[in-house]
């Protein structure tokens, strides 16, 4: 398993979260197959494994990931000559349920960010930081892991750009607007120095927590859930909702689909196309409300 993990990290360059998920999936497969030799695992064994997961009530997305983990592992094992035949070649991936992402309205985002700006105007370091985080998440559409990985030197306030490290260790430069630049600038000048005085050691991180260390995704999740849930009317909302909102509002405003793909850091244009469906749904809702013959 160590060699396979190294393959995922160094060759496939998958994220740590995906690697952990694949390891968990394969551990579950090992628990089901028991003492069966790796070379004796066939397609029916893998189908039985997925069927058991279905009976447990696992989500379609989980099933799809399990199938992907199995194909990655057995493909690697075949290439490494650990097995003569790859049993996962005909393993069908369960289709994921098609659900549109949760998106905040333009007016809702304007109201939220105006409230955060008012709170930050008092000069409280945490309020300055939270305002900058929300403006940057919405202004760039970056993932929460990318946001937390930004260092101070990665931000160019003059050009209004930030350098981020995305999935597969792919680096890209994302633009942001004047409101985000103003909020980040205020935080760097007045908020971050105050928080850094509480730190035990130096850090290049842009966003730091109450103790001065690099801020983690969990803290950003908590912030977004607290302020965004009332806006969208949904519980368990996270930073990805701001990414969804940014992409949808860009397309609503006439941005080119490929430009949005570059900004979001999607490897495939097909991933970005989900937001065209969101825009179409919003257009249809507006038509139904406004047209007398709808």
Could you give the residue numbers annotated as active site? 143, 167, 240, 243, 266, 275
At 175, give phi and psi (nearest 5°).
-90, 160
Q: How long a stretch of residues is the chain?
A: 294
Task: Give the C-alpha distances (Å, rounded to integers) separating 55 from 49, 50, 60, 128.
Answer: 10, 9, 12, 48
Task: Give the C-alpha distances (Å, rounded to integers) separating 255 from 9, 121, 131.
Answer: 34, 32, 25
Whole-angstrom Cα Rg for the chain: 23
CA 63/CA 220 separation, integer angstroms: 28
Nearest to 192 by CA among 170, 208, 215: 208
Neighbours of 293 (CB within 10 A): 4
């Amino acid at each position: 398993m160590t060699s396979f993990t190294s393959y995922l990290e160094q060759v496939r360059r998958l994220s740590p979260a995906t690697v952990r998920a694949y390891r968990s999936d394969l551990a579950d497969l090992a628990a089901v197959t028991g003492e069966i030799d790796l070379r004796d695992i066939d397609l029916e064994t893998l189908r039985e494994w997925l069927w058991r997961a279905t009976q447990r009530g696992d989500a379609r997305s989980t099933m799809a990931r399990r199938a992907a983990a199995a194909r990655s592992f057995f493909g690697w094992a075949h290439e490494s000559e650990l097995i003569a035949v790859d049993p996962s070649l005909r393993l069908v991936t369960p289709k994921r349920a098609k659900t549109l992402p949760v998106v905040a309205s333009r007016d809702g985002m304007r109201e939220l960010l105006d409230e955060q700006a008012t709170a930050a105007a008092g000069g409280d370091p945490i309020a300055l930081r939270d305002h900058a985080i929300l403006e940057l998440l919405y202004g760039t559409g970056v993932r929460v892991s990318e946001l937390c990985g930004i260092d101070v030197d990665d931000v160019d306030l003059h050009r209004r750009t930030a350098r981020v490290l995305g999935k597969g260790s792919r680096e890209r430069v994302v633009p942001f607007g004047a409101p985000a630049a103003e909020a980040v600038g205020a935080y760097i000048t007045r908020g971050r120095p105050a928080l850094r005085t509480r730190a035990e050691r130096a850090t290049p991180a842009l966003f730091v927590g109450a103790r001065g260390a690099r801020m983690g995704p969990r803290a950003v999740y908590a912030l977004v859930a607290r302020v965004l849930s009332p806006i969208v009317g949904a519980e368990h909302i996270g930073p990805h909702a701001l990414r969804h909102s940014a992409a949808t509002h860009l397309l609503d405003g006439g941005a080119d689909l490929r430009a949005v793909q570059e900004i979001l850091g999607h490897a495939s244009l097909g991933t970005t196309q989900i937001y065209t469906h969101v825009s179409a749904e919003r257009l249809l809702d507006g038509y139904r409300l406004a047209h007398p013959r709808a």
